[in-house]
Structure 1
Amino acid sequence: MTPRRTATPASTAATARRWRPWAALVLLGVPLLTALAGPWTAGDDGPGEGALPSRPPGGGHPLGTDVLGRDVLALVLHGGASVVGSALAALAVGLAAGVPLGLLAAGARHGVDEAVMRTLDLFLAFPGLLVLMTLAATGHRDRLWLVAVAGVLQVPAVARLVRAAALAPGSRTVVEALRMQGHGWAYVHLRHLARELAAPLATDAGGRLPVVLYLLASANFLGLGLPASSPDWAVLIERNRDALFTQPAVVLVPAGLLTSLCVGGNLLVDRALARRRTAP
């Protein structure tokens, strides 16, 4: 009788390590592929209207219909590009402004450091939803304003992260050594420290993506950025939230795609950082 093999903790961990990058690629690739290729697959006609609202899957609608009687599958295929593009653009704005400010605070004199950080603390104290409500009240409702404000709201947190990483003891030792070698501020902070900050910034960006998506969904609820009839995934979730129990697909499918996007991105970043740590 052949003895049964039992999985050891080491073999189980090795299997998990082998599957983790593929799981990350699948989780990240499905929503990205849906966002990029969805409009081409569904065609240019859009989801249309005319069916009964909030109907379950069937009758020519594989995922049912939404509260306006539109085909949910067509909405999902058409609505990914806007939310993914807006979230990535807002993250880019936050990084583009936050990284230089954090480096400036870390490498400047004490008075400049205090001025920069205390000013950013004022922005950090403002609730994001309050800023969005003010934006809506002043009539700035187009997507460009929404992306810009969502990105600016990320600047204080990004700058604080960069400053803390740049002021770490290990970083300061290398900085002092480079200064003693005659290298200037631009070389030390914009070339050396920028490379050292890549790992924490990548990790922070992965965790910040859900925050940006939440802000965009909240803004759409306030009537900012996109109209209520837009097929955008965030708008679709917000507009159909009351139909969660009667027609769950209209909420769960776009919510699942957004969750897959965030989880897959974080797993891929963690995998890349783990390989960087173990590299010789």
Structure 2
Amino acid sequence: MTPLPVTTGLRRDRARRPWTALVLLAVPVATALIGPWVAGDTAPREDALPSQAPGGGHALGTDVLGRDVLSLVLHGGASVLGSAFGALLIGMIAGVPLGLLAAGPRRTLDETVMRTLDLLLAFPGLLVLMTLAATGHRDWYWLLTVAGLLQVPAVARLVRGAALAPGARTVVEALRMQGRGWAYIHLRHLARELAAPLATDAAGRFSVVLYLLASANFLGLGLPASSPDWAVLIERNSDALFTQPAAVLVPAGLLTALCVGSNLLVDRTLARRRRSR
């Protein structure tokens, strides 16, 4: 079989690089990080009409309150990224140790941890957030904390399953026979084994958290109606979709790009690592 020319291999390698994912992810992330520094005031202007089409000093028009949509979009990404990453971090920090604890040699501890987490897994996320809002806990930190805790059972199950895989258990038993301690086995060996599945799950779970938080804000369970958050903008301007579509489609497009870009980037990166090995 004739080997492929080096130039052909290089061209294929460049073609497989995650440029699409990087662009999709870079646009909303840059908007969220840089936007607040370059955006103008989000207060309604006296000369602006509600749901005004683009033009007349408003590049993306105005929203239902007469606020500049471009300024709102530039300000609204920070809350989206901050809340989604914060909730994901809470789920990972709590879920990974619980999964490793359940994968230990004690069967009773495994059953106790997993059955307790199953109770939390049985509650629908939006129902929990609606109950939280009904009891008066509408602050952003309540929303972020509860959204993060709702991810703990799934993260713990993933970690437990990966740690109990036959290959992983064989190496763990061998390390125990060599006298290695818990910290060496779990923090060095299993951490490397869990890195790839956790990275893949984190990208998908980021989309789940983002969807949950966006749904809560869309339903008015989280941030106040005056917030420039992208999900709040979509909800506030949904009635004006046909008269002022930019106020809905722009934040919706940024949310979509954020979800798709993060998943594509992790998938392409892991695929390149497998090919390089």
Q: TM-score, normalised by structure 2?
A: 0.91
Q: Is the 8 A contact 2:22 2:261 kept in 1?
A: yes
Structure 2 residue 78 is matched with structure 1 residue 81: yes
Structure 1 position 145, deviation (Å)? 0.9
Matches within 5 A, 1:1-280: 18=15, 20-43=17-40, 45-50=41-46, 51-280=48-277
Counterpart of 1:73, as a letter, is: L
Structure 1 position 119, deviation (Å)? 0.6
Q: Is the 8 A contact 1:107 1:189 kept in 2?
A: no
Superposed CA deviations along residues 106-135 of structure 1, whole A, max 9, x for unmatched, are 114111101111110110000111110111
Percent of paired sites with the same residue: 79
Superposed CA deviations along residues 29-88 of structure 1, whole A, max 9, x for unmatched, are 111111111111114x23534422222212221111111111111110111111111100
Q: Is the 8 A contact 1:136 1:222 kept in 2?
A: no
Counterpart of 1:259, as a letter, is: T
Q: Is the 8 A contact 1:133 1:222 kept in 2?
A: no
Counterpart CA distance in 2 for 1:120 and 1:212 is: 18
User: Which shows bigger deviation, 118-127 or 229-238?
Assistant: 229-238
Q: Which residue of structure 2 aligns with residue 8 of structure 1?
A: none
Counterpart CA distance in 2 for 1:198 and 1:150 is: 23
Change (3 A) 1:19 1:279: closer
Counterpart of 2:44, as a letter, is: G
Counterpart CA distance in 1 for 2:132 and 2:105 is: 33
Change (3 A) 1:243 1:14: farther
Return 5+ residue gaps in structure 1 as ranges. Answer: 1-10
Counterpart of 1:107, as a letter, is: G
Structure 1 position 18, deviation (Å)? 2.3
Q: Is the 8 A contact 2:140 2:222 kept in 1?
A: yes
Structure 1 position 237, deviation (Å)? 1.3
Q: Is the 8 A contact 2:91 2:150 kept in 1?
A: yes
Superposed CA deviations along residues 208-264 of structure 1, whole A, max 9, x for unmatched, are 112111211222244344210111111111222222222221111111111111221
Change (3 A) 1:23 1:16: farther
Counterpart CA distance in 2 for 1:63 and 1:222 is: 24
Partner-residue secondary structure (3-state), 1:210:
helix
Partner-residue secondary structure (3-state), 1:107:
coil
Counterpart CA distance in 2 for 1:245 and 1:270 is: 36
| RMSD between aligned residues | 2.1
Partner-residue secondary structure (3-state), 1:240:
helix
Counterpart CA distance in 1 for 2:56 and 2:13 is: 41
Counterpart of 1:53, as a letter, is: P
Change (3 A) 1:180 1:23: same
Structure 1 position 102, deviation (Å)? 0.5
What is the aligned length? 270
Counterpart CA distance in 1 for 2:83 and 2:172 is: 36
Counterpart CA distance in 1 for 2:30 and 2:80 is: 13
Structure 1 position 16, deviation (Å)? 8.2
Counterpart of 1:48, as a letter, is: P
Partner-residue secondary structure (3-state), 2:60:
coil
